[in-house]
């Protein structure tokens, strides 16, 4: 089966379904991208009249760019709802009845549920005979909380679904610029020759958010930024920056190269944890001029969970020897920004004695958020007669994807991923060995933190994290791009 005709969403009354999944499916349906006769079944724990469920879906669609009352109504009313207690395998029989013989035309399951439900759902589907060769399963993070628990989840899922039918979602891979990073690197001859330690001084990856805990207390506390953001999104970005050229743009080739990078990450230990990582937790402060509470106040108790982390990572292979990859992510920062900055080395010898300005090394910045862009900072001479020395200036070679391509709307990352799932292309999904290699490195950091008792330092909300994060990079003679 190439395109699966039935889509079963577990966690259909949850937050992600409301914010992302239903809007994305709706957008795809408005554009005619879904297979003919496409059928959506929503499943949740709560018993609910189907009509009530439809109204919830409509509410979720209202904020979408393509919202149209009649179309939204038609889309929502076609969705079937099945209330299910996933701990009761016998209840999957009812789901089987609802699905009927649709399996031959393919089914995509989507687990947008707490991870504790993954194994019971898979077992229930298996027991009900709903896991044949024409089925696929997608799951949201977190896949475990360390290497061992992620192996357990992967094994439970793998019992019923072979790896090529498993789609582990990392929504960063659905972002347009992330895919463009691959095209930029391997669709141009200009960059690859200088894409190594001889020419690159360091790499910075920043994912900053202004939001705080946002009512996710039960999930977030005890998990923290390292597991929530670095383990998945940021390591995926790092892997795409650092990987060797795949022989083809397909799921096996690309993921083979990414996993090699993840396996080459140098573990941290208690002797390097304090110098190569910083943990922070937001205190009170202000975002956009509005006062906000501290993490501990939102939580209602003190906690040592980090809402900010900065790590200096090394990829121990020939290409990247000695090149630091500085990663930082935090909540309650001054702006929502995600970007990858490649800092090239200074020219080997400067021939200028500039009258004004100084020679700055080139930087390439790949922006994911707020705008999708690729910028290269380079040196030019300011126009003029230059009496008494040249006037140097830095200008930007700028590709704004929004301006360059007149796309009427910006797609949600999930549209791309849902369509890839339905069509069976898992290039932009994370393979089991990648997740496990990523956890192996993250585990080394968690262990090192524990062994060295690294505290989460308080930073004021609305700032770029604890001062120690500046110290970490400045000791190397570099600085964060703020």
Q: What are the residues binding ligand BG6 (CB under 6 A)?
A: 209, 228, 338, 369
Using Cβ positions, the residue closest to ligand BG6 within the complex turns out to be 228
Integer CA distances (angstroms), 409 to 118, 175, 339, 403, 405, in order: 34, 14, 21, 12, 11
Q: To the nearest whole angstrom, how small is the minimum distance from the Cβ of residue 171 to ligand BG6?
A: 6
Integer CA distances (angstroms), 210 to 293, 368, 456, in order: 13, 15, 18
Q: Count CB neighbours of 270 within 10 A.
A: 14
Q: To the nearest whole angstrom, how small is the minimum distance from the Cβ of residue 401 to ligand BG6?
A: 16
Helix or strand run (H / E) with residue 410: none
Q: To the nearest whole angstrom, how small is the minimum distance from the Cβ of residue 376 to ligand BG6?
A: 24
Active-site position among 145, 171, 233, 446: 233
Nearest to 143 by CA among 118, 171, 163: 118
Q: Which is nearer to ligand BG6, 219 or 249 (CB)?
A: 219
Q: Count CB neighbours of 44 within 10 A.
A: 21
The H helix count followed by the E strand count for the chain is 18, 16
233: annotated active-site residue: yes
Q: To the nearest whole angstrom, how small is the minimum distance from the Cβ of residue 380 to ligand BG6?
A: 34
And the tokens for 140? 């949201």
Q: Which is nearer to ligand BG6, 209 or 339 (CB)?
A: 209
Q: Which is nearer to ligand BG6, 228 or 372 (CB)?
A: 228
Q: Which is nearer to ligand BG6, 135 or 150 (CB)?
A: 150
Assess contact for 427 and 249: CB atoms under 8 A: yes
Q: Which is nearer to ligand BG6, 21 or 128 (CB)?
A: 21
Q: To the nearest whole angstrom, how small is the minimum distance from the Cβ of residue 228 to ligand BG6?
A: 5
Bond into 300 cis (ω within 30): no
In whole angstroms, give the CA distance from residue 355 to residue 390: 5
Query: Which residues are marked as active site?
Result: 233
């Amino acid at each position: 089966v190439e395109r699966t005709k039935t889509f079963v969403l577990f966690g259909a009354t949850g937050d992600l379904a409301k914010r992302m999944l239903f809007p994305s499916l709706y957008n795809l349906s408005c554009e005619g991208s879904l297979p003919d006769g496409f059928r959506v079944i929503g499943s949740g724990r709560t018993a609910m009249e189907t009509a009530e469920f439809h109204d919830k879906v409509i509410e979720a669609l209202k904020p979408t760019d393509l919202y149209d009352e009649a179309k939204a109504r038609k889309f929502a009313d076609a969705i079937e709802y099945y209330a299910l207690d996933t701990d009761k395998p016998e209840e999957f029989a009812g789901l089987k009845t609802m699905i009927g013989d649709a399996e031959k035309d393919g089914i995509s399951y989507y687990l947008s549920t707490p991870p504790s439900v993954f194994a019971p759902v898979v077992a229930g589907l298996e027991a009900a005979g709903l896991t044949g060769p024409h089925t696929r399963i997608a799951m949201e993070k977190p896949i475990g909380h360390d290497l061992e628990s992620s192996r357990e989840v992967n094994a439970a899922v793998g019992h019923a679904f072979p790896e090529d039918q498993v789609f582990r979602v990392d929504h960063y891979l659905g972002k347009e610029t992330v895919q463009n990073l691959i095209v930029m690197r391997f669709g141009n001859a200009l960059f690859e020759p200088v894409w190594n330690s001889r020419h690159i001084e360091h790499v910075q990856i920043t994912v900053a958010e202004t939001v705080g805990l946002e009512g996710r207390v039960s999930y977030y506390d005890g998990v923290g930024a390292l597991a929530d953001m670095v383990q998945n999104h940021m390591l995926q970005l790092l892997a795409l920056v650092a990987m060797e050229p795949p022989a083809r743009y397909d799921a096996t080739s690309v993921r083979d190269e990414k996993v090699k990078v993840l396996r080459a990450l140098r573990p941290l230990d208690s002797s390097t944890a304090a110098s190569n990582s910083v943990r922070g937790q937001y205190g009170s402060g202000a975002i956009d001029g509005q006062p906000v509470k501290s993490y501990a106040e939102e939580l209602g108790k003190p906690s040592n969970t980090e809402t900010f982390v900065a790590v200096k990572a090394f990829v121990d292979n020939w290409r990247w020897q000695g090149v630091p990859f500085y990663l930082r992510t935090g909540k309650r920062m001054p702006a929502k920004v995600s970007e990858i900055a490649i800092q090239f080395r200074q020219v080997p010898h400067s021939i200028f004695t500039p009258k004004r300005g100084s020679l700055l090394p080139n930087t390439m910045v790949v922006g994911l958020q707020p705008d999708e862009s690729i910028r290269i900072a380079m040196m030019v001479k300011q126009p003029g007669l230059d009496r008494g020395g040249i006037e140097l200036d830095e200008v930007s070679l700028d590709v704004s994807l929004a301006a360059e391509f007149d796309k009427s709307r910006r797609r949600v990352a999930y549209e791309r991923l849902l369509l890839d799932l339905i069509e069976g292309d898992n290039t932009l999904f994370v393979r089991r060995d990648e997740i496990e290699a990523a956890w192996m490195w993250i585990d080394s950091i968690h262990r090192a933190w524990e062994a060295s008792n690294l505290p989460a330092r308080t930073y004021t909300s609305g700032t770029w994290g604890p001062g120690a994060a500046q110290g970490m990079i400045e000791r190397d003679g570099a600085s964060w791009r703020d």
